[in-house]
Amino acid sequence: MFKIAKSVEYSILALRHIALNSNGNLLTAREIAENENIPFELLAKLLQKLARGNILESAQGTRGGYFLRSSINEVHLSDIINAVDENIQITDCMVLEPTSSNCSRLENCCLRAPMLKLQNRIENLMGEITLEELI
């Protein structure tokens, strides 16, 4: 079953919280973690990845925190997924160069080509869905 990784889910929750509650102010990782019930250490790492992925901007110091770099209609689900280093993979063989360790039926598989088409369509859809739509 295709499932969004928990890290992506937590990232969306954090971005939603920032979008709805910042009002021009910086929000701290601790504040977001407490309000969204996300483990602080994990959220801190995800927020850093989102900042490196140019989705968030961070400011250091006692009044530091995070804010969105772009409008919520300019951030796409695929941007979030890519920023937190998650791959969209609907089957085990959807890696770049599959081997028999990915799938024992690789040599005789009749499903890989149609599944690859499905995966591409899902990736395209995730590239169209914006953060605004998710919140």
Helices (H), the chain: 6-21, 29-36, 40-52, 77-83, 112-128, 131-134
The reported pLDDT for the residue numbered 35 is 94
In order of their start, the domains of the chain are: 6-134 (1.10.10.10)
CA–CA separation, 124 and 99 (whole Å)? 25
CA–CA separation, 27 and 74 (whole Å)? 20
Please indicate whether residue 42 or residue 5 has the higher confidence score (pLDDT).
Answer: 42
What sign does the CA torsion over 87, 89, 95, 100 have? positive
CA–CA separation, 115 and 111 (whole Å)? 6
Whether residue 107 has pLDDT greater than 80: no
The reported pLDDT for the residue numbered 95 is 67
The reported pLDDT for the residue numbered 121 is 93
- Of 26-40, 63-77, 111-125, the one with minimum mean pLDDT is 111-125
The reported pLDDT for the residue numbered 6 is 92
